[in-house]
Structure 1
Amino acid sequence: MNKIRSAEIICVGTELLLGQIINTNAAWLARELSLLGIYSYYQTVVGDNAERLTNMLETATGRSDLIILTGGLGPTQDDLTMATVAAFAGRPMLLHQESQQAIAARFQLMHQRRVPSNNWKQAMMPEGALVLPNNNGTAPGAMLTIASSNNGTVTLVMLPGPPSEMQPMFNESVRPQLVKCTTTRLKHCFVRMIGIGESAAESRLLDLISSQTNPTVAPYAAEGEVMFRVTQSLDRDEEMDKTAEVIGEIQKRLGDYIYEIGTRSLPEVVKDLLEEQDSTVSLAESCTGGMISAALTDIPGASTIFTGCVVAYDKQIKVQQLHVPETVIQEHGEVSEACARAMATGCRDVFNTTYSLAVTGLAGPTGGSDEKPVGLIWLAVAGPQEVATRQLQLSGSRSRIRRVSVLQALDFLRRQILK
């Protein structure tokens, strides 16, 4: 393969066009290519139609050095990618015996003595292609370099559609080939923060965003948090890594809001902090209904820091399970600082943990009042030395209020752990 600078991603499948399956392959591939210093300038979705796929290949081969196709490698009649690419390249389809043997072996692992006849189609490859083994399915992939319409060459890569098959195949077989074809790498560093809006954060970094060319600084907004990506194009031998210098400047300006410089999520950061202190946490959730618990237990190894959760949606559960005094609810209501404080202390005592996090609030869309509007949330963290509380006033739909409450609650816990 010649030097590769630009790439194009073509995802094949009528189900993608119909919205029946979300196209995550293009985003994943674009990220991986960027880390190799290969820019993805075009992304296309094509249905299971040979004529339209051929038209797309004619366009793509005239403008890109690398074309990655995903999907359409299955055994059914509408899986046309490999045959269409072969016809476009003017190559006959030949039986690849190693792939045939691998297909037979996979069916044996599935305790099926007989391989369905249509699966043998997956062992047919364009003449001259580098076959990419599939260790997670029956469809092998292929790489094929052909002449392009602009008098150069273009490399076509055919990968299976399921991400569980596509991603390992790319990492194991495609990435090593692409590394040989580029001398540039893109280094990405992520600065993740919470408690500040995108526009407010961006206003503090405008000079960095507008003046930087290499590295560059770009903001990305996610629900409830903000992320800045610092990207530098690095030559293997010559370029000096300047990302640390830029990140240091971001920390000076926005340090109080930053919870991670890297790829960890907020729940992962909280888990790691608790492990470092040999501490544990329990949860008392009302309006979030167990969502904080789910966020923590999604992390492998969470059992080392997480003891349990009481979803106290009903008033009586708050009283009976968390020992919230009835007088607190009568005098202040369930959505109040006093109730959140009592929930946290009661939960800490019930589970005997280092910390306990409680959340109670009005997620809406009904139930609010002038005194306590929809979106009013009270957080409380009972720790070894004190009980800290925080009031939030959130906006949006019920689901948004609950999701943002989860992030804000975890960040409040993080800050208490760091005290």
Structure 2
Amino acid sequence: MKKTNDILIKSAEIVAVGTELLIGQTLNTNTHYLANQLTLLGINSYYQSVVGDNPERLLAMLTTALARADLVITSGGLGPTADDVTMELVAKAAGKELILDPVSKQSIEDYFNGIGRTVSDNNWKQAMMPQGALTMPNNNGTAPGAILVFDNLGKRKAIACLPGPPSELELMFEQSLKPWLEKRVNYKFEHRFLHMMGIGESEAELEVRDLIERQTNPTIAPYASPGEVCFRITQRKLRGQTEADLISPVVQEIKNRLGQYIYEDGERTLPEIVFALLKEKNQTVSFAESCTAGMISANFGAIAGVSEVFAGSVVSYSNSIKERILGVPSKILQQYGAVSKECAEAMASGVRKSLDTDLAIAVTGIAGPDGGTSDKPVGTIYLGADYQGQLTFEKHMLRGNRERIRTVASLRAFHLAWRCLKEKSDN
């Protein structure tokens, strides 16, 4: 990329282009990716927008975004078809002409030659760039990107155009836009993440309210996701300078107050933490699943190398399978029912003995939307654990739709596994 006029970037706005995003046909993963990258770079992002393939509305959105951010990043609309008009409208918003970029033209030609095809006439449209823009090569497709810096109402502004396909956008960002941005920001942000389970967001926030109310740098941002609470602690540092670690004292203070709920100081998932503990202990695990129907096993099996510690699992929806495969006594099923503490513990004990593992986790419950009773409403979940012959259980009353109940039940199962492994280590 060639150099362009300089600019200091403090804020950015993301504009995702595509009618398929507006109507819910395509999930807008690009904005999620870009927002995360901007945060890591220390660039504030106060607005995000989605615009369909409509020239008038896209031009209006670009004009609005330029009025409130130093940088506007667009994703999508760089293709060869008639409704791909992002580059044309970016040029219009900046008061520039579209010109043929010879480097982009050659890249398109080389791409088609490489796959043994002739360039279609409409593909040459992708080589048209706003005058004065620097091009960003697309090493995963045909649509090059562009960065344009210009004066807008007496202020320096920039627009970066990225392609819509995530594989193309992410590679272009990493190879071209990110290095360009790193030279044009004053600050960088460092983050620590504390993950908690067994406490609600409001209750956790209340425990550190005084820290939040007097915060300046670093800052504490609580947020919740299904089944857990996370605190993001962020320190702002001047880029290129060595500054004191202000995060660690805050993290320690939070741990002093909420340590019993914190399972991770970092960015590992619960399944990854359980895997690491089992590997460290040279131990194995098995699962018996009823209402989660293999979700726990699927999440664990997604980890590379998990076969070192994961023996297998049994999905036992019916009572007959619970009896025949897991050895749950019929007396337990008749007296307490399949959704009970006794059944969960018996399932865990049965799968541990059957698969000969150190630890076994079982889950049984009512995920809904039907099947609930006044005694055991939808969302009633029992977890059982058998760790080297020692039985324990947990009961949870979960809320939400079927998918959320199953998701949170799976997370709770991993949390119980973590508790068993951690408590034995600490004793």
Q: TM-score scaled to structure 2, two decimals? A: 0.92
Q: In 1, Cα distance between the equivalents of 2:84 and 2:266?
A: 39
Matches within 5 A, 1:311-350: 311-350=315-354
Identity fraction in percent: 52
Matches within 5 A, 1:210-359: 210-236=213-239, 237=241, 239-359=243-363
- Which one is further off, 140-149 or 230-239? 230-239
**Alignment length, in residue pairs?**
417
Q: In 2, Cα distance between the equivalents of 1:366 and 1:54?
A: 49
Q: In 1, Cα distance between the equivalents of 2:112 and 2:312?
A: 43
Q: In 2, Cα distance between the equivalents of 1:145 and 1:35?
A: 22
- Write the letter of the residue equivalent to 1:182: V
The Cα shift of 1:305 comes to 2.3
Matches within 5 A, 1:123-202: 123-149=127-153, 151-202=154-205
Matches within 5 A, 1:6-45: 6-45=11-50
**Residue by residue, what CA displacement relative to the aligned partner does 1:132-171 show, whole Å, maximum 9, x if unpaired?**
111222211111111111x132111000112221122111
Q: In 2, Cα distance between the equivalents of 1:184 and 1:362?
A: 50
- Which one is further off, 396-405 or 167-176? 396-405
Q: In 2, Cα distance between the equivalents of 1:400 and 1:57?
A: 37
- Which one is further off, 172-181 or 269-278? 269-278
The 8 Å contact of residues 104 and 144 in structure 2, kept in 1 or not, is answered as: yes
- Which one is further off, 283-292 or 38-47? 38-47
3-state SS of 2:189 partner: strand
Q: In 1, Cα distance between the equivalents of 2:406 and 2:390?
A: 26
Matches within 5 A, 1:104-123: 104-108=109-113, 111-123=115-127
The 8 Å contact of residues 234 and 240 in structure 1, kept in 2 or not, is answered as: no
The 8 Å contact of residues 21 and 27 in structure 2, kept in 1 or not, is answered as: yes
Q: In 2, Cα distance between the equivalents of 1:37 and 1:23?
A: 22
- Which one is further off, 189-198 or 363-372? 363-372
The Cα shift of 1:238 comes to 5.8
The Cα shift of 1:385 comes to 4.4
Q: In 1, Cα distance between the equivalents of 2:56 and 2:377?
A: 58
Aligned to 2:3: none
Aligned to 1:49: 54
The 8 Å contact of residues 94 and 152 in structure 2, kept in 1 or not, is answered as: no
- Write the letter of the residue equivalent to 2:400: G
3-state SS of 1:202 partner: helix
- Which one is further off, 38-47 or 176-185? 38-47
Q: 1:115 to 1:305 in 2, by over 3 A?
A: farther
3-state SS of 2:67 partner: coil
Q: TM-score scaled to structure 1, two decimals? A: 0.94
3-state SS of 1:41 partner: coil
Q: In 2, Cα distance between the equivalents of 1:62 and 1:377?
A: 51
Q: 1:224 to 1:57 in 2, by over 3 A?
A: same
